[in-house]
């Protein structure tokens, strides 16, 4: 039986997000935004019972938990041995209000009796300073304030405060409402406001999904992945975080624990690409604004990742008060990869911006001014394409001329050629065409290893790397090129573990990798599809859908033997790969399959 491990749902609103277990226990929530100090940190507290809120039902015998269809609302039903039951609805408010998007740093929980006389206990155990229990609190008439240094958290509720403070059991005879957020007074009727927020948030998500566009197959899977990606977009600045967590390791005892609550240019490109494919273009527009704030007026190189606010420092440190996921420490805050040279960043940004010039749906398409902003990124790409860097997998102990980095630099220059031609800038198109031609030839020559009969991960290396599966997708060569066909076969033979795919199998800074990278499976499926192995590709994709947890979400890694999910969660790389591969493999609305099955 598959051990899902990270069986969690995400609730959020584009500013804040939390992770909820099937039992309704909220185990991760940072305040006031994705990268903040966690109020709830139980996910990373090892054996210590701290940093969570939950509803405990006496004599509980059954749990049912699911998303409300096509929304980011989670409904959990707990049933006791006498048939008593409660329904718990969790969400983060998000809707249009006075012409603006209302997305406060708040979570809302509604607890309702739906059968019998259920006896419950409400527990709220806040932390601060990354895992230190909050010791000071004060009660008002309908709230409890938990002192968390500069950002106190307030629980506003119509549940009996004394029962909540003392974690005392009581019989639930009426609905109770809870709002978790910053220390701001709550105006108006709590029950009425929570119900109003619930209805308007539900309607927002239903309308957002209604505007999406995709093919006929795997619609539910694509919708859930799309909502999840949207929840990883910090809309205020346009940043897209790689995941909502820190330090969930790639596998037990690995030490490969990283903070992913920041915006990688590479990951964000895949997110933007996936959301564009289903018609959610606003994220791309917001991300371009975020990029412009970073790129304009710079004389130094770009980093591979930035904070939600791009000027934030990302110095890496550890949190001694947290034992780690399943006791697998350390828990890291910040990410030293921000200081690395990763040359693919330039191509990633240019490629993310490219649809701005060609997508006719956009109200403000890219023009010569935007081209002038991103063109210097191409100059950096051309300069650095064949220089050593840390690569896509962010090796901390070595630098090489990595194939993926060089190919992305080529792709950035080639897209500038296409954009310049589209804008009627003939001289610039000719300029970038010559540069991209030169770099492309050098990449194909330097990355080809005749002994392996495959493109390899770095020039002059014998090591295979799943990232070269993207060479055809980028357009560096056609899928039926014999060298690419051979590469797909060799990677499938040496990096596959059943249906799972390793990034690489050679030892790195932390030893031999044990888990497979989920995005690499989607890359291999795409490559197999494009090289004509379509039945095999579909089988492999359907199997991948079975790795999702009960809520339809994926993390970064999967153990190739147990099927257990590992790595930070939810992983935008993985969810983007699911969308892009599903669309590639899906039959269209008009083909015979759909007509015959309707």
pLDDT more than 70, % of the chain:
97
Task: Kindly provide the residue ranges of all beta strands, DSSP E only, lying in 68-190, ordered along the sequence.
Answer: 74-80, 85-91, 95-97, 100-102, 106-115, 119-125, 127-128, 132-133, 137-139, 143-146, 153-157, 170-171, 176-182
How much is the average pLDDT of 47-65? 97
Say if residues 50 and 131 touch (Cβ distance below 8 Å).
Answer: yes
How much is the average pLDDT of 480-497? 98
CA torsion sign for 160, 32, 128, 75 is positive
Residues in CB range of 555: below 8 A, 6 or more apart:
5, 6, 243, 248, 518, 565, 566, 567, 568, 569, 570, 571, 574
Instruction: Give the tens place of pLDDT for each residue, 278-312.
Output: 999 999 899 999 998 998 867 688 999 999 999 99
pLDDT at residue 220 above 80? yes
Dist CA 12 CA 244 (whole Å): 10
pTM exceeds 0.75, yes or no? yes
Q: In 10 A of CB 349, how many CB atoms?
A: 28
Instruction: Give the tens place of pLDDT for each residue, 407-421.
Output: 999 999 999 999 999
Instruction: Give the tens place of pLDDT for each residue, 145-159.
Output: 999 887 899 999 999
pLDDT more than 90, % of the chain:
88
pLDDT-based confidence at residue 594 (cuts at 50, 70, 90): very low
pLDDT-based confidence at residue 121 (cuts at 50, 70, 90): very high
Domains of the chain: 9-208 (2.70.98.10), 211-597 (1.50.10.10)
Distance, CA of 20 to chain centre: 16
pLDDT at residue 479 above 50? yes
pLDDT-based confidence at residue 214 (cuts at 50, 70, 90): confident
Dist CA 311 CA 279 (whole Å): 30
Give one DSSP letter per residue of 223-283, joined into a string.
HHHHHHHHHTEETTTTEE-S-S-B---SSTT-----B--SEEHHHHHHHHHHHHHTT-THH
Say if residues 30 and 571 touch (Cβ distance below 8 Å).
Answer: no
Averaged confidence pLDDT in the chain? 94
């Amino acid at each position: 039986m598959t051990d899902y491990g990270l069986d969690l749902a995400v609730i959020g609103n584009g500013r804040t997000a939390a992770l909820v277990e099937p039992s309704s226990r909220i185990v991760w929530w940072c305040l006031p935004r994705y990268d903040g100090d966690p109020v709830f940190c139980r996910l990373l507290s090892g054996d210590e019972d701290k940093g969570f809120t939950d509803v405990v039902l006496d004599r509980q015998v059954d749990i049912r938990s699911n998303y409300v269809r096509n929304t980011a609302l989670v409904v959990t039903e707990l049933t006791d041995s006498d048939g008593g039951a409660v329904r718990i609805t969790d969400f983060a408010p998000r809707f249009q209000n006075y012409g603006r998007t209302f997305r406060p740093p708040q979570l809302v929980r509604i607890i309702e009796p739906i059968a019998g006389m259920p006896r419950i206990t409400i527990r709220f155990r806040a932390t601060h300073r990354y895992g230190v229990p909050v010791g000071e609190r004060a009660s008002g008439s309908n709230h409890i304030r938990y002192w968390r240094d500069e950002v106190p958290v307030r629980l506003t509720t119509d549940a009996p405060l004394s029962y909540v403070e003392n974690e005392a059991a009581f019989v639930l005879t009426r609905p109770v409402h809870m709002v978790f957020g910053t220390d701001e007074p709550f105006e108006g009727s709590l029950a009425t406001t929570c119900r109003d927020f619930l209805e308007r948030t539900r309607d927002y998500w239903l309308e957002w999904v209604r505007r999406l566009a995709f093919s006929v197959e795997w619609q539910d899977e694509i919708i859930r992945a799309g909502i999840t990606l949207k929840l990883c977009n910090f809309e205020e600045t346009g940043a897209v975080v790689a995941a909502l967590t820190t330090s969930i390791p790639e596998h037990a005892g690995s030490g490969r624990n990283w903070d992913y609550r920041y915006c990688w240019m590479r990951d964000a490109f895949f997110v933007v690409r996936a959301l564009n494919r289903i018609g959610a273009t606003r994220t791309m527009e917001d991300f371009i604004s975020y990029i412009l704030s970073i790129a304009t007026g710079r004389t130094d190189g770009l980093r591979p990742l930035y904070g939600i606010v791009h000027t934030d420092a990302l110095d890496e440190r550890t949190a001694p008060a947290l034992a780690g996921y399943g006791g697998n420490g350390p828990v890291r805050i910040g990410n030293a990869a921000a200081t690395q040279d990763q040359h693919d960043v330039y191509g990633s940004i240019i490629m993310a911006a490219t649809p701005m010039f060609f997508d006719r749906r956009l109200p403000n398409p890219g023009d010569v001014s935007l081209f002038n902003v991103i063109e210097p990124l191409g100059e950096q790409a051309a300069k650095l394409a064949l220089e050593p860097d840390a690569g896509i997998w962010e090796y901390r102990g070595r630098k090489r001329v990595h194939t993926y980095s060089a190919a992305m630099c080529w792709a950035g220059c080639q897209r500038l050629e296409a954009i310049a031609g589209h804008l009627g800038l003939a001289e610039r198109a000719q300029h970038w065409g010559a540069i991209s031609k030169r770099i492309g030839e050098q990449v194909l020559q330097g990355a080809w290893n005749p002994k392996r009969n495959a493109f390899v991960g770095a020039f002059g290396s014998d090591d295979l790397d799943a990232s070269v599966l993207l060479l055809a997708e980028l357009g560096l060569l056609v899928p039926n090129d014999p060298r690419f066909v051979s590469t797909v076969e060799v990677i499938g033979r040496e990096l596959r573990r059943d249906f799972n795919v390793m990034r690489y199998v050679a030892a790195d800074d932390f030893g031999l990798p044990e888990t497979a990278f989920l995005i690499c499976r989607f890359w291999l499926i795409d490559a197999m599809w494009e090289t004509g192995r379509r039945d095999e590709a579909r089988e492999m994709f359907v199997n991948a859908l079975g790795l999702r947890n009960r809520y339809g979400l994926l993390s970064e890694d999967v153990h190739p033997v147990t099927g257990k999910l590992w790595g930070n969660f939810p992983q935008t790389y993985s969810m983007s790969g699911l969308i892009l591969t599903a669309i590639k493999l899906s039959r269209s609305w008009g083909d015979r399959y759909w007509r015959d099955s309707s």
